[in-house]
Structure 1
Amino acid sequence: MKYSGKKQEKSFASGMNFYKLVWIFVFFSIYGYVFETTANLIEYGYFYNRQGLIYGPFSQVYGMGAIFLILCAEKLKMKKFVHLFLLCFLVGTIFEYVASFLQESVFGATSWDYKAMPFNINGRVNLLFSLAWGLGGAVALKWLYPVTNRLIESFPYKKGIILTWLIFSFLCYDIFISAAAVKRQQERLMAIAPTNSFEMYLDKKYPDSYLEKIYPGMVFKK
């Protein structure tokens, strides 16, 4: 191999650092959104919005789930498909249960209910979807993540760092405003009047009619 004379630029996201984790969250949140939207389109025959945040095609459950699974797989040095399947089956099930529990505890709402399905636990998880977590997660870790990882590490060093901080700042705002808007929606359903200018802003900017389009599957507990 001939030496080109050019020094290869160091990747801003080499290894498993903060920058890499941010982009894992971004890419897999988008993958999750595309997967769920497509699955619902096939099942129901029409578009059914499955985004988890107000702004952008993000499903943060998939983003966070991917981070946990990738970190666990690398920590345990798992490469065989069957081992990845078992890991994703277990971690995916626990993560989905915890996500459902936290959503109901904090916001008094649920975005999925599996009580009508066999082998479910409190309607939060069920065997069929846990198997899907196992199979889908193993496929993602075995083939999708390596491709995504190469794409992330191909970003130019300086531009990659700047872009990471921009998308991270945007996501922090998106997560905050989404959580605040949903919490305020819960309070409106409980007939709680706004107590400050921020809550008045939320009522005006993100009314129930708007949020119902963003989260059509979300049901508040009475």
Structure 2
Amino acid sequence: MANTLLVVQLAVFLVLITGWAMRSMSYRIARGRSYRALAGDERFGDDIQSTLSAIERERLGAAVRVSDDAYEGLKVKRRPHLSREQRRSIFQAEMKTRDEYLQTASLGIFHYIIIFIAFSVIGLVAEEIWMWVSLGSTESRVGVVWGPFSPLYGFGALMFTIVLWNFRTCRWYEVLPVSMGLGAALEQTTGMAMEYFWHAQSWTYIGLPDAITQWVSWTTVCLWGVIGLVYSKLVMPELVWRIGEPSSRMQTVLVGVLVAFMTLDLLMTAYSFYRLEQRSLGIPAQNPIDAYVDYHFNDQFIEDRFQNLVVGQQLDPNDRSQWRI
């Protein structure tokens, strides 16, 4: 129980600190600029634009009145900080606009790509922190051969987003069982796929009193339920609002490059495990691609890169006496 509460607290802390950082960065960037310039005119209605225009005129008027002797000779005016009232007005206008935007917004490939990549990194960082807190050790728990990504969390966030998007306005007791089922299905399907295709395992709940299957336990099912609830009510709406729609060619190009890289990364990872199994059977390289993979992603690389993964054998049962919490 203590382990579950600790993970929940860690997840809530990450959500809160991320939200605070995003709001703080928005206010800092907005100094001397209109919020419409920051978020894009196309996401604001006429009434919200009027409110923000009034705030902008007030700030511009203050900029004309504020001066500094050191800058007077240079004909440069000091850019004022936003007052507390201005920040509150901007925040209220943003919340109202966000709610209106989410009512009519529809998720697209642009949202899914960013969510997948972002949570592939966030999930990996959270798991590394959890390992250090619970066991006092660290190990490489990445899921691909290149980059700090764990696709399990990326696919999990993607699945939660697709399914829970229509549940974001439902009551908590309606969201909770759906999230629990999604998390259990994700772990069970991923564990079985790894075992079936590559004879590999990276986690097991065998040895724990609440284990349901090798890859699912009651503790993690409840944890997935809480995570899904927090995600659907707090994280997902803010995330979709912040992502918005691609408004520049640079954004489109950047997302396209990330998609190409992640696709290549996933394909190379799958092929590296394919060649790992082929080498264990004594089958030599049949073409230049096999030779490249055998040289750059050999057995030692796989062992060092995926330290929580075993291939061709069972993971040892869990021993809670090793946990320090």
1:16 — aligned with what? 107
Give the greater-gyration-radius structure (CA): 2
Task: State the alpha-carbon separation in 1 of the partners of residues 289 and 259 from structure 2.
Answer: 23
Q: 1:143-154 maps to which residues of 2 (within 5 A)?
A: 143-153=234-244
2:228 — aligned with what? 137
State which of 215, 226, 229 in structure 2 corresponds to 1:124.
215
Q: TM-score, normalised by structure 1?
A: 0.88
Residues 174-217 of structure 1: CA distance to partner in whole angstroms, max 9, x if unpaired? Answer: 10011111221122223322222211111100111111122111
Q: Are the counterparts in 1 of residues 167 and 232 from structure 2 also a CA contact under 8 Å?
A: no
1:216 maps to 2:307 = yes
2:285 — aligned with what? 194
Q: Are the counterparts in 2 of residues 119 and 127 from structure 1 also a CA contact under 8 Å?
A: yes
Task: State the alpha-carbon separation in 1 of the partners of residues 166 and 225 from structure 2.
Answer: 18
Q: 1:1-222 maps to which residues of 2 (within 5 A)?
A: 8-9=41-42, 15-76=106-167, 78-153=169-244, 156-222=247-313
Q: Are the counterparts in 2 of residues 120 and 127 from structure 1 also a CA contact under 8 Å?
A: yes
Task: State the alpha-carbon separation in 2 of the partners of residues 51 and 174 from structure 1.
Answer: 12
2:24 — aligned with what? none
Higher relative contact order (CA 8 A, sep 6+): 1
Residues 65-112 of structure 1: CA distance to partner in whole angstroms, max 9, x if unpaired? Answer: 111111111234554333322211111101110011111111111111
Amino acid in the other structure paired with 1:8? D
Unaligned runs of 5+ in 2: 1-33, 44-104, 314-325
Q: 1:210 to 1:155 in 2, by over 3 A?
A: same
Deviation at 1:142, TM superposition (A): 2.0
Q: Identify the range of structure 1 (147-156 vs 41-50) with the bigger mean alpha-carbon deviation.
A: 147-156
Q: TM-score, normalised by structure 2?
A: 0.62
Task: State the alpha-carbon separation in 1 of the partners of residues 145 and 175 from structure 2.
Answer: 32
Task: State the alpha-carbon separation in 2 of the partners of residues 115 and 128 from structure 1.
Answer: 13
Task: State the alpha-carbon separation in 2 of the partners of residues 94 and 4 from structure 1.
Answer: 41
Task: State the alpha-carbon separation in 2 of the partners of residues 5 and 141 from structure 1.
Answer: 26
SS in 2 for 1:120: coil
Task: State the alpha-carbon separation in 1 of the partners of residues 168 and 243 from structure 2.
Answer: 21
Q: Are the counterparts in 1 of residues 119 and 157 from structure 2 also a CA contact under 8 Å?
A: yes
Q: Which structure: greater helix fraction?
A: 2
Q: Are the counterparts in 2 of residues 78 and 84 from structure 1 also a CA contact under 8 Å?
A: no
Task: State the alpha-carbon separation in 1 of the partners of residues 249 and 241 from structure 2.
Answer: 17
Deviation at 1:221, TM superposition (A): 2.2
Deviation at 1:147, TM superposition (A): 3.0
Percent identical residues: 23
Q: Identify the range of structure 1 (56-65 vs 189-198) with the bigger mean alpha-carbon deviation.
A: 189-198
Equivalent pairs counted in the alignment come to: 218
SS in 1 for 2:144: coil
Unaligned runs of 5+ in 1: none
Task: State the alpha-carbon separation in 1 of the partners of residues 238 and 122 from structure 2.
Answer: 13
Q: 1:174 to 1:4 in 2, by over 3 A?
A: closer
Q: Identify the range of structure 1 (141-150 vs 168-177) with the bigger mean alpha-carbon deviation.
A: 141-150
Residues 34-86 of structure 1: CA distance to partner in whole angstroms, max 9, x if unpaired? Answer: 11111011122222222111112211111111111111112345543333222
RMSD across aligned positions (CA): 2.5
